[in-house]
Structure 1
Amino acid sequence: MSTVISVRINEKIKEELEKHGINISQEVKKFLEELYIKVKAKEYVNKWIEELKDIKPSEEGFSTKSIREDRESH
């Protein structure tokens, strides 16, 4: 589903951009889609930070010990 928005810009700016072959509608759409992606990414990162804030870090040497145990079990 999509919706229509309208934006007013200075007529000289519009003419200059069109003179250089820039599709204003396409550029605005692309900008808003990229902005949406950035906003959603920030939202997810903040959610992950919130979920991980109460998890304590592994003890020092945990990964080395875990790998050694895994190797020795084969």
Structure 2
Amino acid sequence: MAIITVRIPDELKLKMKQLNINWSEEIREFIRRRIDEEERRKKIKEALEIIKRTPVSVEPGFSAKSVREDRDSH
């Protein structure tokens, strides 16, 4: 397991000591969530780029026309 070092103000360290919290686990979990969030953002961005490059395969107004036809058939 790798080790990272973070510098924090002394006041913050004192407040941390007063609480019964496993700070290492809290920080690990935060990092995991943050990585997941960034990976999702990257995948969304890539998907949007693919969509932008994909030619439109239906004519404009197709959806509205289809809904109208379906409503009229009942």
TM-score with structure 2 setting the length: 0.65
1:40 aligns with: 39
Q: 1:13-58 deviations in whole A, cap 9, x for unaligned? A: 3332121233211221121011111111111111111111123374
Q: State the partner residue of 1:56.
A: 56
State how many pairs are aligned.
71
The 10-residue stretch of structure 1 (43-52 or 59-68) with the greater mean CA deviation from structure 2: 59-68
Gaps of 5+ in 1: none
- Identity within the alignment, %: 23
Matches within 5 A, 1:1-74: 3-10=1-8, 12=10, 13-54=12-53, 55-56=55-56, 58-67=58-67, 68=69, 72=73
**Greater length-normalized contact order (CA 8 Å, ≥ 6 residues apart):** 1
Shift in CA distance, 26/63, structure 1 to aligned 2, threshold 3 Å:
same
Residues 23/10 of structure 1: CA separation in 2 closer, same or farther (3 Å cut): same
Taking structure 1 as reference, are residues 57 and 38 closer, same or farther at Cα in structure 2, changes over 3 Å only? farther
TM-score, normalising length: structure 1:
0.65
